[in-house]
Structure 1
Amino acid sequence: MRTAGHHAVDLVVQRLCTAADGPPHTVAAPAELQTLLGEPLPEEGGDLGGLLDHLAHDVLPLGIRFDHPRCFGFVPTTGNYPAVLADLLSTAHLSVPGAWLVGSGPSSIELTTLKWLKELLGLPGHWGGLFVSGGSLANLTALAAARDHQLGGDLAGARLYCSTQAHPSVARAAHLLGLGRDQLVALEPDPEQRLDPRSLAAQVDADLAAGLRPFAVVATVGTTSTGAVDPVTDLARHCRRYGLWLHLDGAHGAAFALSARGHDMREALGQADSLTFDPHKWLFQPYETGCVLVRDPELLKATFRMARHHLDTGYLHPAEARHGEVNFDDLGPQQSRGLRALKVWLSLKTFGAAAFRRAVEHGLHLSDHAAARIAAHPGLELTSTPSLAILTFRCRPTDGSADPATVDRLQQSVSDAVRATGQALVLTTRVRNRTVLRMCTINPATTPADIDATLELVLQTALAR
């Protein structure tokens, strides 16, 4: 066990110390992976050390290397070594922060970490919540509480509002909660790609006049395409006027509140009824580290408490919370839960909050640098206002063509060609129904030189089209 464990740690350290080596993206065809992994069920065991080598060298590298300093696709994460060790320890201890009886120590770690996250985001102390797998489950959890609190179990005529720029997990959550597709009203954004409060108010007025039942609004703090931030304060005012639940999907963008320039966001976040936040994005944690926070934690308990859903009450009765204990399985959809909070706890204890604040600021400075370079070059143009370390842009055709389809094809071909070089990863998105290039610059290991080299590669690739 020690030999294999020491070898595994060596593999982890080697991986973390060589994040910049090789391409940021490697993909294998299904047929290749079938040859590599499509073996029969093993009846006899094999050498653990050799299997670890096989995984580390042949299998796990096949994908996006999100911590590569020239990986600008999606919302990359970096992870960190203390978080790796946290997963190792919590897995070995079979830690379950579900019922207090099952894991009082793990539950206390989660309570403390939630308190720290609230402090980082500027949320009042009475807010509560729990760690979940990511933004998708956080949105589902919050909207389930909103549905129960606002609608009382009757979905007839219910209406949920968001913008077309909202994350797909919002639509999926609505589906899982029993809402028909017509009951999710996705409004067109304003010119800055934000949910327009006036359009929202007009739609709510029309729906009320039609005898429908508006119950909640999802505002996005950092859309995935452009990083746009919906006008939370104005939306909160409308929600109060109409008695609607305001949920903020801040999976990426809520972390902006850690920075000096994002300090004003702290007040806006506190105006919501619930908030999604993903530490596996701009808090540099490994994946499966999401969080949902709510103004009134009792509303989570009203939806998810185990006693509400017992079929065989006797089996779980010994684990019911008593004397001020907190059972996290009363607050969300999972009963058996991993100790996701330990990754964040150990990271903050090891590095300190100031290191994370500096890292968020660094990502913002990189975005500023990239935007200035793009704006200054005649072959490139920004296509949205840079926001939350996300910027979109496009290459201008060298022949001066203005045909939309031609320009769109150029962006996709540039993205494909840049990825094929193995030197950087710049993917596309759609902004105002046009294909554009997109960069997310939150990696603390990325430097201005990486930005410059990537943009130069984009330009050279475009010239060769």
Structure 2
Amino acid sequence: MLHNPQSFHPLEPTRAQLAELGHEVWARAMAFTESLPASPAVPSEAPPAALIQAMLAAPAETQGEIIPLLDQLDEAVKYAYEPGSPGMLAYVPGGGLSVSAVADFYARITNRFASMARVAPALVALETGVLRWFAGLCGLPEGSGGVFTSGGSLANFSAIITARHTRLGENFFDGTLYISAQTHHSVAKAARLAGFPAAALRIVPHRSDLTMDDDALRRMIAGDRAHGKRPFLIVGSAGTTNTGAIDPLPRLADIARDEDLWFHVDAAYGGFFRLTLRGHERLSGIERADTIALDPHKTLFQPFGVGALVARDPKLLATAHEVDGAYLRDMSHKQTYGGEHLPDFAHMGPELTRDVRGMRIWLPLHLHGVAAFRSALDEKLDLAAYVYERLAAAPRIEVPWKPQLSTVAFRMKARSSSADDIRAANQATQDLLGRINASGRILLSSTEIDGRFTIRVCIVMHRVHADRIAETLDIIAAAVAQPA
């Protein structure tokens, strides 16, 4: 029996109910955003057991009340790292622009399927326009394009799939690809997911500045060919996670050209620094890549959950990923819109169903203007240079690498290069990190580089300004001065 259309439908709130809900959520959102400048980067205590059990509880059969439910969410949010705090200087944080969140709300309430051009042509054009701008920013030629992903990891995965398909074909187990120990771990994971055995992933030595040794790369490629392997891919880093090091991209591009290999650049962290004059110069050579991974949720200050892969020849993305489904035929008819052949994003990556990811980038770019983003990135470069100068002047601290982007790595000096003194310095650095983070005002993270425990200051988030950096340096100085 069919229901009467006039009957009550609890899944369809009235306008008044939506207005009440929206007002309540928006008030909380504004209060949260206003609190961020003073927010600690890490909660001061663990969540109570009662909250964990409440969040694990199954939903009830009966209707709940919105205020208590939102209160519960507010409580859960409190016990998480705060990536929007200006004290968040760990990892490669993503602060999340407020305007991007507004765009996300609009994208989700309108709920458009944006993977096929015929279904939402103007919104596919929106994403295409942003991706073309990304490609042009990286120096790729007209005709380049790409696809939005959930992040840099999936972008790197699709790049490896495309390189594998284009260079090796169906029989690829004798293929070899080349990274350094400083390359983001998502590339090694992507190679495994793409079906390559561990021996196919060749780790190229790095130089003292932590950039890939291109001379060693040439030798390794020649050696692999001599042993019957098929080299097919070089992955260069445009800003490593550890220190922001930039591989010698022009020389890697030369090798890729000479050896007929695919050249992919992982620019998830560093790519958008191309907006600045310094970044444009330091990232020279990226324009010669076949594919480039980007992470707008890093250096375009977007909320977590959006990455991008741009390609010199986007048709190769489709060739590598497209698989027909009879149920897609009705939406797959090719036609032009405004004189443009718009892409079907579903055929350019692993995902079929997804929302309009590009709206969260399109709106702030057009609302704030590109100059605002350029200025913010220039500020981060300036702040990193200042941190480097201050820490390098501290007598007990070692700052081995001048920052190429916005990450400064430092550690306690070792008395000598003996194994015992290195172990002692590593422990002293680890203890120092604990004292720094105990303040609650900032959060720094660590890594290990060539056997040395190292602390990182990563200045990426748009809310980080000179005042918090000055406070950070004071906290570090006080922690160094404390007795172990």
Question: After TM superposition, is the score higher than 0.5?
Answer: yes
Verify the 8 A CA contact 1:190 1:196 in the aligned structure 2: yes
Work out the number of aligned pairs and report it: 457
| Counterpart in the other structure of 1:34 | 52
Distance in 1 (alpha carbons) for counterparts of 2:47 and 2:78: 14
AA paired with 2:122?
A: G
1:55 corresponds, among 73, 90, 94, to 73
Distance in 1 (alpha carbons) for counterparts of 2:373 and 2:50: 40
Alignment of 1:427 with 2:445, yes or no, is yes
* CA deviation vs aligned residue, 1:271-292 (integer Å, no higher than 9, x gap): 0000001010011111111000
Alignment of 1:207 with 2:207, yes or no, is no
Structure 1 residues 356 and 457: alpha-carbon distance in aligned structure 2, compared to 1, 3 A threshold: same
Verify the 8 A CA contact 2:139 2:287 in the aligned structure 1: yes
| Counterpart in the other structure of 1:450 | 468
Verify the 8 A CA contact 2:414 2:421 in the aligned structure 1: no
Structure 1 residues 23 and 32: alpha-carbon distance in aligned structure 2, compared to 1, 3 A threshold: farther
Verify the 8 A CA contact 2:161 2:320 in the aligned structure 1: yes
Alignment of 1:406 with 2:424, yes or no, is yes
Alignment of 1:301-320 (within 5 A): 301-307=318-324, 310=325, 313=326, 315-320=327-332
Alignment of 1:193 with 2:202, yes or no, is no
Distance in 2 (alpha carbons) for counterparts of 1:230 and 1:448: 29
Alignment of 1:130 with 2:119, yes or no, is no
| Counterpart in the other structure of 2:101 | 84
Distance in 1 (alpha carbons) for counterparts of 2:42 and 2:139: 36
Backbone CA RMSD of aligned residues: 1.9
| Counterpart in the other structure of 2:373 | 356
Alignment of 1:114 with 2:111, yes or no, is no
Alignment of 1:162 with 2:174, yes or no, is no
Alignment of 1:394 with 2:375, yes or no, is no
Deviation at 1:383, TM superposition (A): 2.4
Distance in 1 (alpha carbons) for counterparts of 2:424 and 2:47: 29
Secondary structure in 2 matching 1:74:
coil
* CA deviation vs aligned residue, 1:51-102 (integer Å, no higher than 9, x gap): 123212x112322211211211011122111101111011111122111232
Verify the 8 A CA contact 1:67 1:77 in the aligned structure 2: yes
Verify the 8 A CA contact 2:306 2:357 in the aligned structure 1: yes
| Counterpart in the other structure of 1:94 | 111
2:64 corresponds, among 34, 43, 46, to 46
Structure 1 residues 379 and 284: alpha-carbon distance in aligned structure 2, compared to 1, 3 A threshold: same
Verify the 8 A CA contact 1:382 1:394 in the aligned structure 2: yes
1:23 corresponds, among 22, 27, 40, to 40
Compare 14-23 and 66-75 and name the one that shifted more. 14-23
| Counterpart in the other structure of 1:273 | 290
Distance in 2 (alpha carbons) for counterparts of 1:75 and 1:110: 25
Secondary structure in 2 matching 1:219:
strand
Deviation at 1:32, TM superposition (A): 6.0
Deviation at 1:328, TM superposition (A): 0.8
**If the length of structure 1 is used for normalisation, what is the TM-score?**
0.94
Structure 1 residues 3 and 397: alpha-carbon distance in aligned structure 2, compared to 1, 3 A threshold: farther
Distance in 1 (alpha carbons) for counterparts of 2:33 and 2:242: 28
Verify the 8 A CA contact 1:158 1:213 in the aligned structure 2: yes
Taking every aligned residue pair, what percent have the same amino acid on both sides? 31
Secondary structure in 2 matching 1:194:
coil
1:70 corresponds, among 73, 87, 90, to 87
Deviation at 1:148, TM superposition (A): 0.3
Deviation at 1:438, TM superposition (A): 0.6
Deviation at 1:416, TM superposition (A): 2.1
Deviation at 1:335, TM superposition (A): 0.6
Distance in 2 (alpha carbons) for counterparts of 1:138 and 1:132: 6
Q: Which runs of 5+ in 1 are unaligned?
A: none
Deviation at 1:265, TM superposition (A): 4.8
Deviation at 1:454, TM superposition (A): 1.5
Verify the 8 A CA contact 2:90 2:457 in the aligned structure 1: yes
Verify the 8 A CA contact 2:279 2:405 in the aligned structure 1: no
Secondary structure in 2 matching 1:364:
helix
Deviation at 1:429, TM superposition (A): 1.2
Verify the 8 A CA contact 1:428 1:438 in the aligned structure 2: yes
1:236 corresponds, among 222, 247, 253, to 253
AA paired with 2:447?
A: T
Distance in 1 (alpha carbons) for counterparts of 2:31 and 2:52: 27
Verify the 8 A CA contact 1:397 1:410 in the aligned structure 2: no
| Counterpart in the other structure of 1:464 | 483
Deviation at 1:395, TM superposition (A): 3.2
**If the length of structure 2 is used for normalisation, what is the TM-score?**
0.91
Alignment of 1:251-290 (within 5 A): 251-265=268-282, 267-290=284-307
Distance in 1 (alpha carbons) for counterparts of 2:221 and 2:186: 22
Compare 334-343 and 352-361 and name the one that shifted more. 334-343
Verify the 8 A CA contact 2:246 2:283 in the aligned structure 1: no
AA paired with 1:93?
A: T
* CA deviation vs aligned residue, 1:223-254 (integer Å, no higher than 9, x gap): 10010000010001011111100000000111
Secondary structure in 2 matching 1:261:
helix
AA paired with 1:437?
A: I
Compare 25-34 and 167-176 and name the one that shifted more. 25-34
| Counterpart in the other structure of 2:14 | none
Verify the 8 A CA contact 1:72 1:439 in the aligned structure 2: yes
> What stretches of structure 1 move > 4 A for 4+ residues in a row?
29-33
Distance in 2 (alpha carbons) for counterparts of 1:177 and 1:24: 36
Structure 1 residues 328 and 226: alpha-carbon distance in aligned structure 2, compared to 1, 3 A threshold: same
| Counterpart in the other structure of 1:291 | 308
| Counterpart in the other structure of 2:348 | 331
